[in-house]
């Protein structure tokens, strides 16, 4: 392991411990690490957008004679006119174009993905217990959000099954969330453990 790597990994280990100190209470070490992340992220994002959007899609296209790109470039420039009271009306053309395209592209695929495919996945033959459960619990959960009829008597039972279905879903989500959060902690613990080994190996030659 090179000395340079030890230093960089050491910095990462130090920042990890700085963040962990927040578990006790807010302190200057945590604030330093938090603001460092925010600053680095903002700088990185700005340069990334400059290179991947402006350089690639504006400068490069114009330099290589792809003049069709002048249309989106002008629409993009039009967006910036919102900062001028006198010329802000120009931005409406850009926004209208953007909303029109977005809506036209999104509505059909959203309907297909989130409505049609999901409904068709619920219209299934009762050939297995899980298929029966899917249909029953989907109907009960949907009924829970049906407010035009008072949830009394038999409707109350259906509504209750609906809320229990939702609770099971939330429980599964919570369990997986715990797993995810612990995974973040474990990854840092493994990193610190490996770093201690690296340092020990470096010192030991």
Choose between 109 and 200: whose C-beta lies nearer to another protein: 109
Least Å distance, CB 175 to another protein, is 8
In angstroms, what is the minimal distance from the CB of 135 to another protein? Answer: 12
Name the minimum Å distance from CB 191 to another protein. 9
Would you state the structure tokens that stand for residue 159, as one six-digit string? 């509504």
Other CB atoms closer than 10 Å to residue 56's CB: what's the count? 11
Closest CB 119 distance from another protein, rounded Å: 9
Cβ neighbours of residue 99 closer than 8 Å, sequence gap 6 or more = none
Rounded Cα gap, residues 143 and 121, in angstroms: 18
Binding site for another protein (CB under 8 A): 23-24, 41, 44-45, 48-49, 52-53, 56, 60, 105-106, 109-110, 112-114, 117-118, 120-121, 134, 169, 172-173, 176-190, 193
Of 154 and 179, the one with the shorter C-beta distance to another protein is 179
Minimum CB distance to another protein, residue 148 (Å):
26
Residue 65 or 205 having the CB closest to another protein: 65
Q: Of the two residues 24 and 147, which places its CB atom closer to another protein in the complex?
A: 24
**Which H or E element spans position 122?**
none
> 199: which residues sit within 8 A by CB, 6+ positions away?
6, 10
38-to-27, 43, 176, 186 alpha-carbon distances in Å: 17, 9, 27, 23
Task: Return d(Cα 205, Cα 194) in angstroms, integer.
Answer: 16
**Nearer Cβ to another protein (145/147):** 145
| Kind and range of the H or E run holding 114 | none
């Amino acid at each position: 392991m090179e000395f340079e790597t030890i230093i960089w990994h050491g910095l990462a280990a130090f920042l990890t411990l700085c963040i962990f100190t927040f578990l006790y209470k807010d302190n200057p070490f945590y604030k330093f690490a938090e603001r460092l992340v925010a600053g680095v992220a903002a700088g990185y994002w700005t340069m990334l957008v400059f290179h991947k959007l402006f350089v690639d899609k504006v400068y490069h296209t114009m330099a290589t004679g792809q003049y069709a790109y002048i249309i989106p470039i002008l629409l993009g420039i039009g967006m910036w006119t919102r900062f001028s009271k006198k010329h802000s009306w120009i931005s409406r053309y850009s926004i209208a174009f953007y909303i029109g395209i977005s809506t036209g592209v999104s509505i059909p695929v959203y309907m297909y993905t989130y409505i049609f495919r999901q409904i068709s996945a619920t219209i299934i033959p009762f050939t297995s217990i899980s298929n029966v459960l899917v249909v029953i619990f989907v109907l009960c959960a949907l009924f829970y959000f049906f407010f035009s009829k008072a949830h009394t008597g038999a409707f109350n039972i259906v509504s209750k099954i609906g809320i229990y279905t939702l609770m099971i879903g939330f429980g599964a989500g919570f369990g997986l969330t715990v797993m995810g959060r612990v995974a973040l902690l474990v990854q840092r613990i493994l990193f610190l453990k490996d770093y201690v080994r690296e340092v020990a190996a470096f010192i030991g030659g």
